[in-house]
A and B are shown apart, each in its own frame.
Chain A
Amino acid sequence: MPSPAYHAPDTVKQATDLLAANKGARPLAGGTDLIVQMQSGRSAPAAIVDLKRIAALKEIREEAGYFAIGAAVPCTSLKNNKALAAEWPGVVEAANLIGSVQVRNRATMAGNLCNASPAADSVPALVAAGATAIVAGASGEREVPVEQIPTGPGRTSLADGEFVTEIRIPRQQKGSSDAYLRSIPRTEMDIAVVGAGASLTIDASGTCTSARIAIGAVAPTVLLVEDAGKALVGSKLDDGAVAKAMEAVSTACNPIDDKRGTIAYRKAMAGVLAKRVIQIARERAGGN
């Protein structure tokens, strides 16, 4: 079994050139999915292009309109950026539910997104946050909503030679916050049976002016449930509005029966978690 070639470029341009020149090459960020897949024989890339030497991809930049999180930033580092943790506590918490402490010291949100697991913990939070991904390739860069990156379990919309260089999350408005929760049988070191993220904005009167609800592990990709958001906007997040949002979430679910959960349980939990993340985001938004 030939070992794959290993490349460690210093710039995004070098990385896209290497990916273009090596058919079957895979970009490597934290490697917490790719290396496990290689060891178990599920993936055998011809070459590896390690992104961790590219300085620009190892930073979190605070721009005027958005946070830019480089593709090589480990999940643990997100907690150290005070502004990000204050504005998007749900995103930071979601990314810090992945695997174990040791895994999160390596794993990245861009990798979590591009691994395209429907159960990826950071993705529902990113989708609820309205995050975008910057995709680099031979023909330059493009910006894509994160929900458009995964197209099914293990599949993405990235063309050959493309990779995600950074994730952008908008700066939070006043009266806004977010939350993410997942259902697992244990307390940690597990994979979501269902995940739900919410991002809300509430005005001075207590009326919800924007809401995005996203759910994971209940369909081939993470879903943005627009009807759930619509049920909340204009309401004071009263029980009736929240019940409508829960209903919309359960209806949007298209889960499978497997060893981790049944269809019925997943649909029910999607609703319960949606209710809880709406409550948490609402409490957090009140303080902002």
Chain B
Amino acid sequence: MNAPEPKDAFKVVGTRPIRPDGVDKVTGKAIFGTDYKAANMLAGAIVRCPHPHARIKSIDTSKAEAVAGVKAVVTGADFPSVEDTIVRMGETSASTVDMAQNVMARDVAYYDGHPVAAVAAISQEAADEAAALIVVEYEQLPYHIDINESFKLDAPAINPNLKATGLAEGEKVSPNVTTKFPYAKGDADAALAGAAATVTAHYTLKPVHQGYIEPHACVVSWKPDGKIDIWCSSQGAFNIRGLTASFLHVDIGSIRVMPLEIGGGFGGKNSVYLEPVAALLSKKSGRPVRLLMSRSDVFRASGPAPGAEIDVTLGADAQGNLVGAKVEFVYSAGAFRGTDAMPGVMHAICHYKVPDFSLIGWEVLTNMPKHAAYRAPGAPQVNFAVECALNELADKLGIDPIEIRLKNAVGPGDPGMMGAPLGNVGLIECLEAAKAHPHYTAPLGEGQARAVACGSWMNYGGPSTASVSLAEDGSVLVATGSPDIGGSRASMAIMASETLGVPYEQINVVVADTSSVGFSMVTGGSRTTYATGIAVIDAANAVIDICKQRAAKMLDVDVSTIEWIDGEAVETGNGKRLSLRQIAEKSGATGGPISFEKGVSPLQHLPGYSAQICDVEVDRETGNVSVVRYTVVQDVGRAIHPAYVEGQMQGGAVQGIGWALNEAYIYNKDGRLDNAGFLDYRIPVASDMPMIDTVMIEKANPGHPYGVKGVGEVPIVPPLAAVATAVGNAIGKRMRDLPISPERVYAALNEG
């Protein structure tokens, strides 16, 4: 393993150049999902179920097909059967089978917004008119929006075929339980019985949407030769390719996905919604088909993150050392099984040294859209409960909230998430920096209060591919398979520039289509700068090796006499230099064009930690909460492009603050989503936020040539507890239910 170089040795890493995609984006030239148009393209429309749970008795498409300009209509009957998919995908098929049904309902629609049919026509007006003429006969079925209702032993089953995982032999549970994930060490009950102080409390959260600005959109062309072209924005073109291939039972290689610019994803664009439907409409009509979601569709049928019911007991000795913890939570999954229970358990208390604990994560179906990953999926909910409880415990023991965290924080060598010893992690440094920050001791104004919270996220590595090639004039071209959500083109250019010794401005980075670069996992899990970065660095180093060989040939010397210095081949001894341009210009005569593609799958990623300080001011007459000062301290590894790292820290904090204060899915009495728009689904607006101060703790990851850890997710984890505790401190009540809307604060201030 390469040890990271000391920071001073870097020339480009740690600088803040303008992002390569910046000018296109601020001048409106960038092509996002909704911008793309193909020649002869048809407009599509999707018919969505208006009920929370209904059997589809019949679908009559005859009137729709008779509308002038309609070229194709599809329903669930046009998709390969679920049984065929199970046969094809084998035993690991559960999530694929679920997603295939989520894309288009078959016999049963599971939520308000579930697609039941789709139309393609020569104009959007004709498609919309035809969609409105599709007659679906429904038999409404019992449904659950509320987690507690769905979790009851005798609750009606949402999906009678569901088989729960993780249950003990013979364990009786609700038929809607998808997963039980228990994880324990020692005897938590005995440890808590011996604690000097304990806190036991119940916490609740509603599902929240990722809130990306760009709605889902795609254009798909199923061509006469059976090949399928897809243009769409997503967090992973390869993911769109693989899932579409499995839903439609075609070979992966027959699909080519052209990634468009993405206007936010936050985990919600790892999923596939429109592409397989547009593909079938295109196959039937013989023309490219575009499908777009409206904002209402986005809320009704994509996202959200799980809502939760959480019970926590924490116990500590008189000095504040945690002695035991019990955490049991139930997360909603939406209409199909989800994946957040396990990371919820993993991130519940892993940032602290707790000798004895019992953690149980449950997940239940609810008649809502199939839940999707959202920035540190599964972690913020449970962290909210645990960090609020820890703040209560600190108050009970009369210990400063940062002190109690410092007493318990994990450091290098301590057991990590699932017991393995931690590497070069920086939670302790984050807490110390927070304690030393002027914010922590600044005087508070009238009606103001302060709180802190901290949290962790595991981060990830995994498969990525990058190619580095030289143009005839020595220009450097970098292609990756990783969609650029948070400035990854800039980071890749910086790492290529650092490695090659070529100025940043001479590096040209593109996000390539799925037929032009090797497989790359989604941009998610805070993995891209780490894993794709390693692919870029490895490919750049391989290009250096090739250049050295070519230079040796040109100079007629042995390659061992060539060194690579500042982007040039230098012959040791006489100092004769050949520039990248000179080498590239002669490459045709020295062995051919110079390029290298590298596939990697690194797993030496390290978890990230963040400690955050929040000041709020509460209007005691109205219950309105203003966040008046906010500081994010984060262990970021080496910051390749510090401005974009700080941007991630600020963005994560803002999303967490929105989650704490105003965001929530609201369903009406008929089980329909009642706030499917940005007016009544309230993400923060700019004027709601103070400047979010950032402090980067750069504790390098030895498992990356430049020390990268992931940075995108952990900043959303602590804000929920930081805000809730601060509001509670301001009004002298504990705020255990999110969102903390003005009305809830008012009620807390005026209750008995």
A235-263 interface bits toward B, Cβ cutoff 8 Å, 1 = contact, 0 = none: 00000000000000000000000011110
Q: List B contacts of A6 (CB < 8 A).
A: none
Are the C-beta atoms of A1 and B685 separated by less than 8 Å? no
Q: List A contacts of B680 (CB < 8 A).
A: 259-260
Are the C-beta atoms of B624 and A185 separated by less than 8 Å? yes
Contacts between chains A and B (CB distance < 8 A), count: 44
Are the C-beta atoms of A262 and B743 separated by less than 8 Å? yes
Q: Considering the chains assembled together, what is the distance between the CA atoms of A36 and B668 in angstroms? A: 23
Q: Residue of A at shortest CB range from B684?
A: A186
Which of these, A185, A259, A269, A272, contacts B674 with CB under 8 Å? A259
Q: Considering the chains assembled together, what is the distance between the CA atoms of A185 and B658 in angstroms? A: 11
Are the C-beta atoms of A265 and B684 separated by less than 8 Å? no
Q: Considering the chains assembled together, what is the distance between the CA atoms of A100 and B417 in angstroms? A: 45
Decide: A188 near B742, CB < 8 A? Known: A1-B125, A183-B622, A269-B622: no
Are the C-beta atoms of A265 and B688 separated by less than 8 Å? no
Are the C-beta atoms of B125 and A183 separated by less than 8 Å? no
Q: Residue of B at shortest CB range from A194?
A: B622
Are the C-beta atoms of A185 and B125 separated by less than 8 Å? no
Q: List B contacts of A183 (CB < 8 A).
A: 622, 624, 742
Decide: A185 near B679, CB < 8 A? Known: A1-B128, A272-B622: no
Q: Considering the chains assembled together, what is the distance between the CA atoms of A183 and B619 in angstroms? A: 11
Q: List A contacts of B743 (CB < 8 A).
A: 261-262, 265
Are the C-beta atoms of A268 and B746 separated by less than 8 Å? yes
What is the minimal beta-carbon distance from B63 to any residue of chain A, in angstroms? 15
Q: Considering the chains assembled together, what is the distance between the CA atoms of A262 and B685 in angstroms? A: 23
Q: Residue of B at shortest CB range from A276?
A: B621
Decide: A259 near B129, CB < 8 A? Known: A185-B682, A187-B687, A189-B685: no
| Residue A190 is within 8 A (CB to CB) of chain B in the complex | yes
Q: List B contacts of A261 (CB < 8 A).
A: 743
Q: Residue of A at shortest CB range from B668?
A: A259
A1-28 interface bits toward B, Cβ cutoff 8 Å, 1 = contact, 0 = none: 1000000000000000000000000000
Decide: A259 near B679, CB < 8 A? Known: A185-B741, A188-B687, A265-B746: no
Decide: A186 near B662, CB < 8 A? Known: A265-B743, A272-B622: yes
| Residue B666 is within 8 A (CB to CB) of chain A in the complex | yes
Q: List B contacts of A110 (CB < 8 A).
A: none
Are the C-beta atoms of B662 and A185 separated by less than 8 Å? yes
Q: List A contacts of B604 (CB < 8 A).
A: none
| Residue B590 is within 8 A (CB to CB) of chain A in the complex | no
Q: List A contacts of B674 (CB < 8 A).
A: 259
Are the C-beta atoms of A1 and B129 separated by less than 8 Å? yes
B contact residues, total (Cβ < 8 Å): 25
| Residue A68 is within 8 A (CB to CB) of chain B in the complex | no
Are the C-beta atoms of A190 and B688 separated by less than 8 Å? no
| Residue A191 is within 8 A (CB to CB) of chain B in the complex | yes
Q: Residue of B at shortest CB range from A100?
A: B685
What is the minimal beta-carbon distance from B705 to any residue of chain A, in angstroms? 44
What is the minimal beta-carbon distance from B618 to any residue of chain A, in angstroms? 13
What is the minimal beta-carbon distance from B458 to any residue of chain A, in angstroms? 33
What is the minimal beta-carbon distance from A218 to any residue of chain B, in angstroms? 14
| Residue B675 is within 8 A (CB to CB) of chain A in the complex | yes
Q: Considering the chains assembled together, what is the distance between the CA atoms of A191 and B681 in angstroms? A: 12
Q: Considering the chains assembled together, what is the distance between the CA atoms of A269 and B621 in angstroms? A: 8
Decide: A259 near B741, CB < 8 A? Known: A183-B622, A188-B685, A191-B679: no
Choose among A1, A188, A191, A261 the residue with the greatest number of B CB atoms under 10 Å from its CB: A1
Q: List B contacts of A1 (CB < 8 A).
A: 125, 128-129
What is the minimal beta-carbon distance from B119 to any residue of chain A, in angstroms? 14
Q: List B contacts of A269 (CB < 8 A).
A: 622
Q: Residue of A at shortest CB range from B661?
A: A185
Choose among B622, B624, B626, B747 the residue with the greatest number of A CB atoms under 10 Å from its CB: B622
Q: Residue of A at shortest CB range from B123?
A: A1
Choose among A185, A187, A188, A262 the residue with the greatest number of B CB atoms under 10 Å from its CB: A185
For window 158-173 of B, CB contacts with A under 8 Å fall at none
Q: Using a CB–CB distance below 8 Å, which chain B residues touch chain A? A: 125, 128-129, 621-622, 624, 626, 661-662, 666, 668, 674-675, 679-680, 682, 684-685, 687-688, 741-743, 746-747
Some 6 contacts from A to B, beta carbons below 8 A apart, are: A1-B129, A183-B622, A185-B742, A186-B685, A265-B743, A272-B622
Q: Using a CB–CB distance below 8 Å, which chain A residues touch chain B? A: 1, 183, 185-191, 259-262, 265, 268-269, 272
Given contacts A185-B742, A187-B685, A265-B746, 6 further A-B pairs with CB under 8 A are: A1-B129, A186-B684, A191-B679, A259-B680, A268-B746, A272-B621
Ranked 10 nearest A-B pairs via Cβ: A187-B687, A265-B743, A1-B125, A272-B621, A189-B685, A259-B666, A185-B662, A187-B688, A259-B674, A188-B687
